[in-house]
Amino acid sequence: MSKESSLTAPEDRDKENRWRPEQSQPPLSNEETVEAMKELNITSFVDKFPKVDRTFADPPVNMQNYGLFSFIPAKGSSPNENGVYGYAKIRGSYQSELEASQRAEYLIRNVDSYHKIYHTYVGRPFPLTESSSYSADVSEVDIKKDMSKNISHSIKDKKEDELKEIREIQQREKNLIEESKREEVDPYDEYITQRVKKAQLVFTYLEHQKKMAEVKEIIIKTRKVIAEMDETHPTFNESYYEKYMQARKDAGITEDIKEAQDNFIKFLVEDVDLGF
């Protein structure tokens, strides 16, 4: 079993021998820091330094209190019983590779000589992997291709779920219509059926009314945001459609003209009078 650290999932922790930050451990020496940088900066593995996780959280970086993070699990990956894939830390963002390396050395020397620190670009996809060779051997094009495939699978899965829900609603409607066409067998049973059908339809109608009210409010707010952005960024309106469609294409999403006309895509460029 691997040594516990601040990134160990709560579900995987030893309940009897609880992990505690090793705050009493002194900073690494110069020699230990050199060896630690070799391993934790994804080079060869050497065990000439103590692997220590001194604190649960890194020392704060000035003006860096909030991080933005996006994640799509690879196709076939599985979460634990609580839906968690793992835990990660954002160690900071820096203007240059030199500053990033200096911060990495500081963390490895003084704070955390247990976890590897991966260098990546802000705003670009990067693989979540324990393999040190992956980041060295896989080209940027391969990463983009792999990310596009995973994003495409994610979008397609969501679309399939939506289509499944629509098909279920359509089937229920079909069943209700078929029931209304059946010949009367027992007037009392028919009466009960009609009562139940009415109750179900009333419930469905009211639920749709609630959703429609919510959607209406969101549409009005969204229109206002778009109008404000059209004033501050008038050029966005000229190229947003092409950029969005290219992003879909890069993610592996292809649609013919008829499909585009039958879904939300046509409303990207074509407005419709909704009465409000």
Is residue 240 over pLDDT 80? yes
Buried residues in 102-127 as b, exposed as e (16+ CB within 10 A)? ebbbebbbbbbbbbebbeeeeeebeb
- Kindly list the distances between the CA atom of residue 41 and the CA atoms of 32, 47, 69, 225, 254, in Å, as whole numbers in the listed order: 14, 14, 21, 44, 40
Between 258 and 47, residue with greater pLDDT: 258
The three-state DSSP-derived secondary structure of 156-179 is HHHHHHHHHHHHHHHHHHHHHHHH
Q: What is the pLDDT of residue 53?
A: 66
| Confidence label for 154 from pLDDT (cuts 50, 70 and 90) | low
Q: What is the pLDDT of residue 199?
A: 92
Between 153 and 109, residue with greater pLDDT: 109
Is residue 137 over pLDDT 70? no
Is residue 222 over pLDDT 80? yes
Is residue 30 over pLDDT 60? yes
Q: What is the pLDDT of residue 224?
A: 92
Tokens of 35: 């060896």
Q: Where are the alpha helices (DSSP H) in the chain?
A: 30-40, 97-110, 132-137, 140-181, 187-232, 236-250, 257-262
What rounded mean pLDDT belongs to the chain? Answer: 74
Least confident of 22-31, 63-72, 244-253: 63-72
Q: What is the pLDDT of residue 181?
A: 64
Q: What is the pLDDT of residue 136?
A: 43
Is residue 55 over pLDDT 60? yes
The dihedral region occupied by 252, where left means phi > 0, alpha psi between -120 and 50, and beta the remainder, is left
Indicate the pTM of the whole model. Answer: 0.34
Most confident of 58-67, 198-207, 251-260: 198-207
pLDDT digits (tens, 9 = 90+) for 3-21: 777 767 766 777 777 777 7
Is residue 204 over pLDDT 80? yes
pLDDT digits (tens, 9 = 90+) for 83-97: 777 777 888 887 777
What own/partner pairs with CB < 8 Å and gap ≥ 24 does 234-238 have? none
